[in-house]
Amino acid sequence: MEEKKEVKPQAIVEIEDFGPLKISGNFLVKDLKRDKEESPTEIRLCICGKSANKPYCDESHKK
């Protein structure tokens, strides 16, 4: 079998309006301010600026 040359997406990144930013798949998160690294299979990150639990979404964008 010949190896496929096409590059496959490693993750799916979805954004709806003010949040959150949803990532799923093969990814590595580095939080430079809090000096933290993690590689979950799914994550929801705040992009509205209002979360009290940054960098994660806490649903504050709905308020």
Partner 1 sequence: MEKNENQFSGGRRYKNEDITVFWKPSACIHASYCYRELLEVFDPSRRPWVDMNGATTEKIIEVVNLCPTEALAWKWNDEAKNESVGTDQLNHIKFRRPELMNANDPEAKEQPVSVKIMADGPIVLKGNFTLSYNGTRKEIRDSMISICRCGVSDHMPFCDGQHRKAGFIG
Binding site for partner 1 (CB under 8 A): 7-18, 21, 23, 25-33, 39, 43, 45-51, 54-55
Judged by beta carbon, residue 50 or residue 59, the one nearer partner 1 is: 50
Q: HSE on the CB side for 34, CA within 13 Å?
A: 10
Nearest distance from residue 33's CB to partner 1, in Å? 4
Nearest distance from residue 54's CB to partner 1, in Å? 4
Nearest distance from residue 44's CB to partner 1, in Å? 12
Q: Tell me how crowded residue 41 is: count the other CB atoms within 10 A of its CB.
A: 10
Per-residue burial over 44-58, b if 16 or more Cβ lie within 10 Å, else e, is bbbbbebbeeebebb
